[in-house]
Every structure is written in C-alpha cells, then in structure tokens.
Amino acid sequence: MPKVALVTGSNKGIGFAIVRSLCKQFNGDVFLSGRDAGRGTAAVESLNSEGLKPLFQQLDIDNPESVRAARDFFNEKYGGLDVLINNAGIAFKNADTTPFGTQAEVTLKTNFFATRDMCNEFLPIIKPGGRVVNVSSVMSSIALNRCSPELQARFRSNDITEEELVGLMERFVQEAQAGAHSQGGWPDTAYGVSKTGLTVLSRIHARKLRHERPADQILLNACCPGWVRTDMAGPTATKSPDEGAITPVYLALLPAGAGEPQGQFVMDKKVHPW
C-alpha cells in the first residue's frame, strides 16, 4: 500500500507550496485539500502543468462531518495516514473593523477548535512512523509573552491537559466578547491566542503519543513557516510560499527512526524554546 500525505487548506498560499514540495520529495500519494472542489481541482491542474501529480480531497475542517468523511476515506483506501500537515487557518487583517469579540470567536473556531477536531479524528489513524505538523506562527510565542504570568505558567507547563487548554481558549472568546479580555490577562491578538493554543495543543498531543503509542515513533510538532507572501500576510512579507514550506516539509519528512524533534515549536528548522 502506498504511503500517503494530506495537507489541509492547500489550494493556495503556504499549503499549496507544501503540496508542491511534497510531490517532489515524498515517496507516496500527496493529497491537496480544501473546502471548494472547484478551487481545489484548479490547484491540482496547476501542479499537473508542472509535471506533479497531487490528488484532491474535499475537506472543510470547520465541518465535523467533512472531517470524519475524509478520515474514513483515508482509513478505507490507505489503512490510515502517514503524514498530516494541519495548515488550514484564517486571520483578520489589522485594518478590519469587525468587533474583537467576533474576531476572537471566528479565528479560534478554525485555528484552534477545528484543528483540534482534525487532530482528534486523525491521530488514531496515523500509522507507525507517521509525522504530524501543525502550522502555527511566531505570533503564538509573541502572544504567549503578552499573556499574564498566570496564563503563561499554564501554557508553558508540562502537565496542562487538553481539557484545561480548551477551557482557557473558551474563556478567551467569552472574555473578548464581553470586552474583558485585557483584565483576564489576554493580549489584543485573536490570531496570536489561536496559535498559542495550537502550539500548546501540539505539546499535549506529542506527550500523549509518547505515553500511549511509544513504539510507533510518531513525531508531532508545531512550526512557524515565517512571514510569507500570501493572501493572509500580504505582498510585503519577506518569504515566498516555497520558502515558507521548507520547515513544515522538513518536519513532515523527518527520517525513519528519528526520536526528535517531538512536541516542539520549530522555526527555520530549529527548535525554539517555548
């Protein structure tokens, strides 16, 4: 059975560049995915014109039924998944006038809660020797440092549970909606908090894999792709999408038998202290 890789949110931007790079380097089937079948198929055809052969899977991470349908597809067709790159994410522009409470709710819905749903559905079908990469952001670290000392201590602790983390993310949304997030010890960045949550979730899930499946040698890490010229970051960013793909692909292709990095936050292929 061929090996198989899935990249979420990959019809454009960094995700698209990750698919391109995996098609050149990964020995197996590579699935480009996105909400919209039309845009996804167009993206596949664009890579076909470069001589690459990705496949397309319709997947809306915000829709639990779509997530479960994709999980069932990979389980039935491939007996699981070898590489999962959780790249799908959203960000409001700095100039956006949407109320902060709404920005908090919408941003965390995709970047934290939906990505957590992806992990909880797909981690059980990741094959031995598999690799999971959560595309976070340096903003996760910046937002962490702007949190209250109490929140920082929990987010950095090695005993925080997934339930506690979910409770804290829900609290941020509630306090943002009430206009009370600053008093609650939170920074003024919904995107940053969503990515703090994702980096901490990565640490929790890696710890869980170590405890529950130690023999399977699955490596799970969070990373920052850098400041990349995409629809999200805009045209003045310093990296091309192909440059942004380098660290996620490096983590996806860590050699068989490697024990680390595991549960780390990685930038420019280097582990950064959390």
The structure tokens listed for 168 are: 């804290």
Contact 4, 78 (CB under 8 A): yes
Helix, coil or strand: residue 162: helix
Cα separation, 163 vs 171, in Å, equals 12
Cα separation, 255 vs 259, in Å, equals 9
pLDDT per residue over 72-110, tens digit each? 999 999 999 999 999 999 999 888 999 999 999 999 999
In this prediction the pTM is: 0.96
pLDDT per residue over 102-134, tens digit each? 999 999 999 999 999 999 999 999 999 999 999
Among all chains, which residue has been given the structure tokens 């903003």? 139
pLDDT per residue over 215-261, tens digit each? 999 999 999 976 666 666 566 766 787 898 999 999 999 999 999 99
Residue 133: which of 228, 47, 219 has the closest Cα?
219
Contact 161, 97 (CB under 8 A): no
From the list 74, 191, 250, 265, the catalytic residue is: 191
pLDDT per residue over 19-68, tens digit each? 999 999 999 999 999 999 999 999 999 999 999 999 999 999 999 999 99
Q: What is the dihedral of CA 251, 238, 46, 78, to 10 degrees?
A: 10
The CA–CA distances, whole Å, from 93 to 176, 222, 233 equal 17, 23, 8
Phi and psi at 43, nearest 5°, equal -65, -40
Helix, coil or strand: residue 8: coil
In this prediction, residue 194 has a pLDDT band, given cuts at 50, 70 and 90, of very high
Exposure string for 74-101, b = 16+ CB within 10 A, e = fewer: beeebebbbbbbbbbbbbbeeeeeeebb
250 an active-site residue? Answer: no
pLDDT per residue over 128-184, tens digit each? 999 999 999 989 999 999 999 999 999 999 999 999 999 999 999 999 999 999 999
